């Protein structure tokens, strides 16, 4: 397996975890400036990691195919 595909998979998983944590924080907190900042930070970082990981997995050519 290619190292880029492994890194893309790790980024995708970290992105999913970040998005799930942002959604969990959004559901379980009341409105406040601190919670909005936390939700925005985890949501944006999770989205960046998720998109970067998916893009890396899609663009990486698989050399094991014949």
Question: What pTM was computed for the model?
Answer: 0.81
Looking at the domain assignment, is residue 30 inside a domain?
yes
Looking at the domain assignment, is residue 64 inside a domain?
no
What are the pLDDT digits (tens) for 8-63? 999 999 999 999 999 998 888 776 667 788 889 999 999 999 999 999 888 887 76
Looking at the domain assignment, is residue 65 inside a domain?
no
Residue 29, SS3 per DSSP? coil
What per-residue confidence (pLDDT) applies to 18?
Answer: 94
H helical segments located in 1-66 = 3-28, 33-59
What per-residue confidence (pLDDT) applies to 57?
Answer: 87
Looking at the domain assignment, is residue 66 inside a domain?
no
Q: Name the token pair of 35.
A: 């919670």
Number of domains comprising the chain: 1
What per-residue confidence (pLDDT) applies to 32?
Answer: 67
Domain hosting residue 41, numbered range: 3-59
């Amino acid at each position: 397996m290619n190292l880029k595909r492994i890194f893309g998979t790790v980024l995708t998983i970290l992105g999913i975890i970040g998005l799930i944590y942002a959604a969990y924080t959004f559901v379980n907190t009341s409105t406040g400036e601190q919670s909005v900042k936390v939700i925005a930070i985890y949501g944006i970082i999770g989205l960046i990691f998720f998109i970067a990981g998916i893009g890396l997995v899609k663009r990486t050519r698989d050399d094991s195919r014949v």
